[in-house]
Amino acid sequence: MPAQALQCKECHEQYPLEARYVCERCFGPLEVTYDFSSLDTEATRRKIQAGPRSIWRYQDFLPYSGKPASPLTTGTTPLIKADRLAERLGLGEVYVKNDTANPTHSFKDRVVSVALAKAIELGYKTVACASTGNLANSVAAHASAAGIEAYVFIPSDLEEQKVLATGVYGTNLVKVRGSYDDVNRLCTELSAERDWAFVNVNVRPYYAEGSKTLGYEIAEQLSFRLPDRLVVPIASGSLFTKIARGLEEWIEVGLIKDGTVPVFNGAQGAGCAPVADAWQAGHDFCKPVRPAGIAKSLAIGNPADGPYALDLARRSGGSIDAVSDDEIREGIRLLAETTGIFTETAGGVTTAVLAKLAERGDIDKDERVVLVITGDGLKTLDAVRDSFEAFEIDPRLEDFEQTVERDHVRAG
């Protein structure tokens, strides 16, 4: 298989493809390295196009020698041309990558599918995670479908919808009094004491590879072409950077011709914006912050891949912006009104940043822009509570005319 080793992102020390996430030499993060020199471009393209309707059509670019048994079908989510959104914002060509169409309605199914398959391959009998919500849903569902025990650790103040959508699968659900960073610290300690596969700790290098499939799909759905710009939410920074890595790999092997990495714009909520703050300050590092605000799924105060996200934004000619809670709510409404897609708060962040970029004039009219939407609005219903009006009438024609139509006339 093309996957060769785990390699430190800082000192480039290499390790076997095992459960390991930090370099013993410099304590840098590890990632999977590949050798694609033996891949035939046209044969690989045909294999992809004839492959399963899931992320496993990209098997040659994932760390397995064969297609893993996957209990839930993940990937091949819609790429929708959003003409009304483009018109509203004064832009030329906008697409929405709607990753709410995954089994548990978020992009986390991609990373969990890859991590769970690797955990099983490595012989683990229990999987676990630290989560801000979407990952909790996904780990619980995929573990249940695979018949493997799971422990899911979440902040105790997580949105009720995400808690319910995790517990229903019968997982061991642990609510921790503290922030996501507190939860993650506990899971890191547990990973040294328990023989469990923590998907975003000791098998994180494999878990992160699942995000590349978003880049592959976007390029394939654009007929193996690149967009000019992507707007992507940032929590840890892994999704942001791994989408770019996927596109870079396809440029390297020739599946995408005549292209360079698109402009990458990152999006954070102002309540927890360590990467956006670092961007504004011109720093190469992220100062940890205490999470706040309504975008809980992005609320990582000490983002592991923050420095790499900053580097990607700089070298691609992009930026990283933060938006307020009110702007997030407006973003949710804007996307719903123009595309029919109801997104959670993370998607409200991304849509609000797209609107900000358009207002600033950062996007040329001839650009092809892809907006990445990572989770479903049913997961964060409180964010849109009291944001619209509903008429209540008696079942009489005159009541409809006097209450509803009269108000429409006034509004007009």
Other beta carbons within 10 angstroms of residue 297's beta carbon come to 29
C-alpha angle 71-22-375 in degrees, rounded to nearest 5: 40
The arithmetic mean of pLDDT across residues 256-283, rounded, is 96
CA 58 vs CA 155, 203, 211, 233, 275: distances in Å: 34, 20, 12, 23, 30
pLDDT tens-digit readout, 372-387: 999 999 999 999 998 8
Q: 269 vs 391, which has greater pLDDT?
A: 269
Q: What is the pLDDT of residue 65?
A: 77
Six token digits for residue 351: 């849509």
pLDDT tens-digit readout, 295-321: 999 999 999 999 999 999 999 999 999
Q: What are the structural domain ranges in the chain?
A: 79-105+211-384, 108-207
- In contact, 208 and 31? CB cutoff 8 Å: yes
Reported confidence tier of residue 399, pLDDT bands at 50, 70, 90: very high
CA 305 vs CA 180, 238, 288, 289: distances in Å: 15, 6, 12, 15
Alpha carbon distance 13, 81 (integer Å):
43
Reported confidence tier of residue 388, pLDDT bands at 50, 70, 90: confident
pLDDT tens-digit readout, 325-334: 999 999 999 9
The arithmetic mean of pLDDT across residues 144-149, rounded, is 96
- In contact, 266 and 155? CB cutoff 8 Å: no
Q: What is the mean pLDDT of the chain?
A: 95
pLDDT tens-digit readout, 40-54: 999 999 999 999 999
**For the chain, percent of residues with pLDDT exceeding 90:** 92
Q: What is the pTM of this model?
A: 0.94
Q: What is the pLDDT of residue 411?
A: 55
Q: What is the pLDDT of residue 405?
A: 83
- What burial class does residue 157 get, using C-beta atoms within 10 Å of its C-beta: 0-12 exposed, 13-18 middle, 19+ buried? exposed
Q: What is the pLDDT of residue 258?
A: 78
pLDDT tens-digit readout, 273-292: 999 999 999 999 999 999 99
- In contact, 313 and 265? CB cutoff 8 Å: yes
Q: Is the pLDDT of residue 367 over 90?
A: yes
The closest of 76, 99, 64 to 220, measured between CA atoms, is 76
Q: Is the pLDDT of residue 250 over 90?
A: yes
Alpha carbon distance 105, 98 (integer Å):
10
**For the chain, percent of residues with pLDDT exceeding 70:** 99
Reported confidence tier of residue 257, pLDDT bands at 50, 70, 90: confident
- In contact, 80 and 98? CB cutoff 8 Å: yes
Entry field: residues in the chain? 412
> Does domain 79-105+211-384 correspond to CATH entry 3.40.50.1100?
yes
- What burial class does residue 66 get, using C-beta atoms within 10 Å of its C-beta: 0-12 exposed, 13-18 middle, 19+ buried? exposed
Alpha carbon distance 199, 156 (integer Å):
20
The arithmetic mean of pLDDT across residues 90-113, rounded, is 98
Question: DSSP class of residue 59?
Answer: G
Alpha carbon distance 365, 369 (integer Å):
10
Residue owning tokens 């079908």: 73
Domain 108-207 is in which class?
A: alpha beta
Which residues in 189-262 belong to E strands, given as ranges? 197-198, 229-233
Q: Is the pLDDT of residue 412 over 60?
A: no
DSSP readout, 277-341?
HHHHHT-SS-------SS-GGG--SS-TTHHHHHHHHHHTT-EEEEE-HHHHHHHHHHHHHHHS-
Question: At 177, is the secondary structure helix, strand, or coil?
Answer: coil
